Homo-oligomer: A and B are copies of this chain.
Amino acid sequence: MILDNRLRAARDPTGETLSTGGRTRQAILARAVKIAAREGLAALTIGRLAKELEMSKSGLFAHFHSKEVLELATVEHAKQVFENAVLRPAQDGENGVARLWSLCDLWLSHIERSVFSGPYFFTGALFEYADRPGLVSDSIKRATQEWLSALRKAVEDGQTLRQLGRSARADQIASELNGRLIGAYCAYLLENRRSFREARAALRARLRDLATTAIPASAFESDGSWKRYAQKRTRDAPKDR
């Protein structure tokens, strides 16, 4: 049975150990995110999901009660996937410009690594749901807000640390960077496979323009030079001892 195999592979996106019921739910939601990521939330029906997972529709209804509850749970699951792929790993690095670069870099690489099986989350979802009332729309908007907040916070920290100038407002820079990422993704979807390499170069050039002299311009020359610069900073930082 397909679901049994899926169950063995099921991992809670938060990394917690799950009961059998919890694992079943995670496996269902992983499949639901897969369908929606490729074809949109509208393509996600309890009937379709039941067929793909070889489960009974009544079994699925027991988990989700309605199409709206299923959609909500699917969006929440997709948010956790995004958090694990982009938001959390970016917190590991240094604050400020380093984190801002990590957020942009991880955003591009979550697409290159096909973390989602298609392009729908969250840009497609936002533009499909933004003008509708309801919990699903609210949850999708919150996902974009959380992403923009993470970018804005990194800019603010960079300004506080005097790595970034204060001539532009943090939320405007966040919105601009988000736009550049989505613009690169549009080009990528239209078969311009070099758009991400170019996007990284353009983002580094933009960060160099925004940066103060606290960060040497040479750090922005390539992905490699940025990494070397960040490692050197970590090495040279005062140790707690």
* Contact of A39 with B184 at beta-carbon distance under 8 Å, contacts A124-B124, A124-B127 already known: no
- Chain B residue numbers with a CB within 8 Å of A177 are 183
* Contact of A183 with B176 at beta-carbon distance under 8 Å, contacts A42-B42, A119-B127, A119-B130 already known: yes
Q: Mark A39-78, 1 if CB is under 8 A from B, else 0.
A: 1101100000000000000000000000000000000000
Contact of A180 among B40, B144, B183 (CB under 8 A): B183
- Chain B residue numbers with a CB within 8 Å of A39 are 128, 132
- Say how far A122's CB is from chain B's closest CB, in angstroms: 9
A24 is an interface residue with CB less than 8 A from chain B: no
Interface of A is mostly: helix
- Chain B residue numbers with a CB within 8 Å of A118 are 130-131
* Contact of A128 with B126 at beta-carbon distance under 8 Å, contacts A172-B202, A182-B182 already known: no
Between A and B, 30 residue pairs with Cβ closer than 8 Å are A38-B131, A39-B132, A40-B42, A40-B128, A42-B42, A119-B130, A119-B131, A120-B128, A123-B123, A123-B124, A123-B182, A124-B126, A124-B127, A124-B128, A125-B127, A131-B189, A141-B190, A144-B186, A145-B190, A148-B190, A171-B187, A175-B183, A175-B187, A176-B180, A176-B183, A176-B202, A179-B181, A179-B183, A180-B180, A180-B183
